Amino acid sequence: MTEMRLLDGSEAIVEAALLAGARFFAGYPMAPATELLEHMAAKLPRVDGVCINADSELQAVNMALGAAQVGARAATGSCGQGLALMQEAIAEAALNETPLVIFNIARNQQDYFQATRGGGWGDYRTVTFAPKDLHEAVEHTHLAFHVADKYRVPVIFMADNLIARTQMGTALPVPELETLPPKDWALDGTMGGTGASRWIWTFGGGKANRPGVGPDGYWRQIADKFDRIAKAEARHEQGFCDDAECVVVAFGSGGKFVEHVVRELRAEGHKIGFFRPVTLWPFPSEALEAATENASNILVFELNAGQMIDDVRLAVEGRDRIKPIGGISFDDSGLNIGPLMDARVIRTRILDQLAGKPLTELPYTGMGAYL
């Protein structure tokens, strides 16, 4: 056995990023993502990398964009509130085909729409990995850089404060991934007028000697690429769905809690299963449709007012089957996951549903639109 170290999620993600070849990080402190920046600042120089504590999130994401455009594996990171400020640059990265990893150490799960719909302009999507714990976070860090480079797209890695602050023994395994071609598109400093200069441009414009496809053709190419990614990169995890009358859908840490409760209920004889989107975009729609084929109840657990539930509704037939059992839940500081992320609470809510109690009679909060 490779020797294990006791690391919290923030440090494990940074160690994995370095092993994945990340050599540039720029960020701006914001709880609970600050530790990620601190570990990057301490560790990147040791591998001749660069970490910059920027003046703002806008500056940070654009610095990372620049580093990625000269071929480095580069990343930025914050919590969802910081990513809100970075939206324009993320859209630019998608449209000008820059591989960029954006770490979101989220305060909660209200970041789902932001990650999967985005706030920038254009026909783009952001591949989003949502690990359930530290071990998966280590794996997803490698995958995030790999997928970003493979397709030349921005990739969002969405963990949360539970993952960031829980310490686990890890040997930091490196997954085996296919070898990618060299970055022959990266800017190399060659000047205009030499006939060999390279352009990275959101409008897909060309040069006198290489006119390019123009904006219309370019944005079609980009949209086609996201279609290809949607078909190839959806990932999920499921359990006990074959004969399940009830399937509970949850992502990230929530998925880990739901799996725990579902295993308990299975052991007690309930015909119940769990389904966890591992990538939030592409959403594993076909797999969810198959997994819920025989279910009369599809329960959606998420710590927000109802975001992923939209994707569940798009993926499966029969809206009457789909019910929210999550809700908004913060601790008193407003910076951390609240008391709803608790196996006993989740268990009660599932059992209420199995008993057929109407949602409107239950003391759930923050899901008005879905009740």
Binding site for other proteins (CB under 8 A): 1, 4-6, 133, 135, 161-163, 165-169, 253, 256-257, 260, 331-333, 336, 341-344
Q: Taking Cα atoms as reference points, which of 19, 86, 87, 96 lies closest to residue 59?
A: 86
CB of 345: closest distance to other proteins in angstroms? 9
Residue corresponding to tokens 């299975």? 266
Nearer to other proteins among residue 4 and residue 232 (C-beta):
4
Nearer to other proteins among residue 141 and residue 336 (C-beta):
336
- CA distance linking residue 3 with residue 267, whole number of Å: 34
CB of 257: closest distance to other proteins in angstroms? 6
Write the DSSP string, 17-75.
Answer: HHHTTEEEEEE---TTSHHHHHHHHHHGGGGT-EEEE-SSHHHHHHHHHHHHHTT-EEE
CB of 370: closest distance to other proteins in angstroms? 26
Residue 113: phi and psi, rounded to 5, are: -65, -45
User: Would you say the C-alpha torsion 300, 239, 114, 15 has a positive or negative sign?
Assistant: positive
CB of 162: closest distance to other proteins in angstroms? 5
Both tokens assigned to 22? 């990340």
CB of 132: closest distance to other proteins in angstroms? 10
CB of 176: closest distance to other proteins in angstroms? 19
Nearer to other proteins among residue 120 and residue 338 (C-beta):
338
CB of 100: closest distance to other proteins in angstroms? 29
Residue corresponding to tokens 């085909």? 97
CB of 5: closest distance to other proteins in angstroms? 8
**Are the C-beta atoms of residues 77 and 102 closer than 8 Å to each other?**
yes
Nearer to other proteins among residue 158 and residue 312 (C-beta):
158
Rounded-to-10 torsion of CA 257, 263, 264, 265: 110
258: phi > 0 → left, psi -120 to 50 → alpha, else beta; which? alpha
Nearer to other proteins among residue 88 and residue 133 (C-beta):
133
Nearer to other proteins among residue 333 and residue 360 (C-beta):
333
Q: Where are the alpha helices (DSSP H) in 316-358?
A: 343-354
Nearer to other proteins among residue 1 and residue 369 (C-beta):
1
Nearer to other proteins among residue 336 and residue 353 (C-beta):
336
CB of 96: closest distance to other proteins in angstroms? 39
Nearer to other proteins among residue 133 and residue 310 (C-beta):
133
Please state at what angle helix 34-43 crosses helix 9-19, rounded to 10 degrees: 40
Biggest CA-to-CA distance, the chain: 74
Residue 293: partners with Cβ closer than 8 Å, 6 or more residues away: none
